Amino acid sequence: MSERNLLMIPGPIEFEPSVLRALGEKTRSHLDPVFMKAYGRAIKRLREVFLAPTAQPFVVAGSGTLAMEMAVANLVQPGDKALVVNSGYFSDRIGTMLERHGAAVTHARADVGSVPSAAEVDTVLATGGFKLMTITHVDTSTAVLAPVKELAAVAKKHGVLVVVDGVCSVGGEALEMDAWGIDVAFTASQKALGCPPGLAILLASPKALATSKARTRPVAAMYLDFAEWLPIHEAYEAERPSYFATPPVNLIMALDVSLGHLVDEGMGARIERHAKLANSVRAAWQALGLRPLPMDTAVSANTLSALYYPPGVDAALVKAVAAEGVVIAGGLHPALKPKYFRVGHMGAVSRADLVTTVSAIERALRACGHPVEAGRGVAALG
């Protein structure tokens, strides 16, 4: 396949050329003043992106799963009770992880395509004894958006720590970490933050840091321990040299550039842009008769779409779309995997990308024997 395809999966995504140029620059020493400045600036910019002036950012080499494990490893001790607000595949993953770290895990589950309500979560938390609750902001397997603000408010009422998996949301969906009382929010570089894969990014509230500090036994995995990373991040923020484990220099240089784009755009404008693009692409899916997996728009993510194949069409559609030069993703949720496909629309995504993608899907649907009128979806984009 040509290198000039359009990558429209829900991460990694298409990146800004300026970000890729930073990645391709000569690798500096991790103690080089230029690098220290960029790392320190990236840390500060993360507070702006997460709307978390009081939180401590951590940026470490790894993927979103490592960020997830960092949250769990620091907050959980064997026997702690945890509630997983379960909206799909990635909620199951954090549940498994919590169990491996010795937590007693309860799941609040909803039908596939939906998310438990704040009232349901309130009822479970009222049974008492929970230390923390996890929310998958956007479950990438289903494109379901959780009402983080409402859910976090319920957890706060019960004095429960709130952990938000923002891997498929941060930078594309509204998230106000401090104002909503979130204790840990994490993401990875390759989605709406717009930087190639390889960075686990986590922000911890003062309460989350204190919880980790008050542990009766140290975090077993040294690489995940807040206490190891805290002095390093404080030093880089102050542009002082420091070492614990070699930072991924080029990725952090690239992250600084991509976060600069987010801050320049402004978080409000960026979230609004994602919402507008998601609304137009939803209109296109409707015009093409493609049924979304989320049960209604109130629980539909703006960062990606998950759509059932129409009758008579299967995963061959994904290949047919690739033949049109656009890379999309198949299903992921085990209960429905062969029945649907996913399209990412986050980060640097533009209207032109959506026109190309919708048009490729129209053509591919026809190639798969499902007649749709040429241009119908594209016209509906508005």
Rule CB under 6 A: is residue 136 a binding residue for ligand PMP? yes
**Which CB sits closer to ligand PMP, 81 or 137?**
137
Contact between 191 and 172 (Cβ < 8 Å): yes
Rule CB under 6 A: is residue 7 a binding residue for ligand PMP? no
**Which CB sits closer to ligand PMP, 202 or 284?**
202
Helix, strand, coil percentages (3-state) for the chain, rounded to 5, are 45, 15, 40
**Which CB sits closer to ligand PMP, 12 or 377?**
12
Q: Which part of the chain contacts ligand PMP (CB under 6 A), choosing from 17-25, 31-39, 164-172, 213-221? A: 164-172
**Which CB sits closer to ligand PMP, 140 or 305?**
140
> How many CB atoms lie under 10 A from the CB of residue 316?
13
Strand partners, 165: 136, 186
Rule CB under 6 A: is residue 173 a binding residue for ligand PMP? no
Rule CB under 6 A: is residue 64 a binding residue for ligand PMP? yes
Among 14, 69, 92, 165, binds ligand PMP (CB under 6 A): 165
Q: Which part of the chain contacts ligand PMP (CB under 6 A), choosing from 107-115, 163-171, 316-324, 351-359? A: 163-171
Contact between 49 and 259 (Cβ < 8 Å): yes
> How many CB atoms lie under 10 A from the CB of residue 31?
11
Among 70, 105, 188, 209, binds ligand PMP (CB under 6 A): 188
The rounded distance, in Å, linking the Cα atoms of 177 and 53 is 9
Q: Which part of the chain contacts ligand PMP (CB under 6 A), choosing from 60-68, 261-269, 340-348, 371-379? A: 60-68
Among 6, 28, 65, 295, binds ligand PMP (CB under 6 A): 65
Report in angstroms how near the CB of residue 45 gets to ligand PMP at its nearest. 20
The rounded distance, in Å, linking the Cα atoms of 128 and 167 is 29
**Which CB sits closer to ligand PMP, 35 or 89?**
89
Q: Which residues contact 221 (CB under 8 A, 6 or more apart)?
A: 69, 73
Length of the chain: 382
Element (H, E) at 95: helix 89-100
Among residues 351, 345, 376, the alpha carbon closest in space to that of 363 is found at 376
Rule CB under 6 A: is residue 90 a binding residue for ligand PMP? yes
Rule CB under 6 A: is residue 77 a binding residue for ligand PMP? no
Among residues 279, 287, 324, 268, the alpha carbon closest in space to that of 305 is found at 279
Task: Report how many residues bind ligand PMP under the rule CB under 6 A.
Answer: 13
Report in angstroms how near the CB of residue 60 gets to ligand PMP at its nearest. 12
Three-class SS state of 81: strand
Report in angstroms how near the CB of residue 201 gets to ligand PMP at its nearest. 10
Residue linked to tokens 């309500």: 117
Among residues 219, 239, 221, 207, the alpha carbon closest in space to that of 30 is found at 239
Q: Catalog residues that contact ligand PMP under the rule CB under 6 A.
A: 11, 63-65, 68, 90, 136, 139-140, 165, 167-168, 188
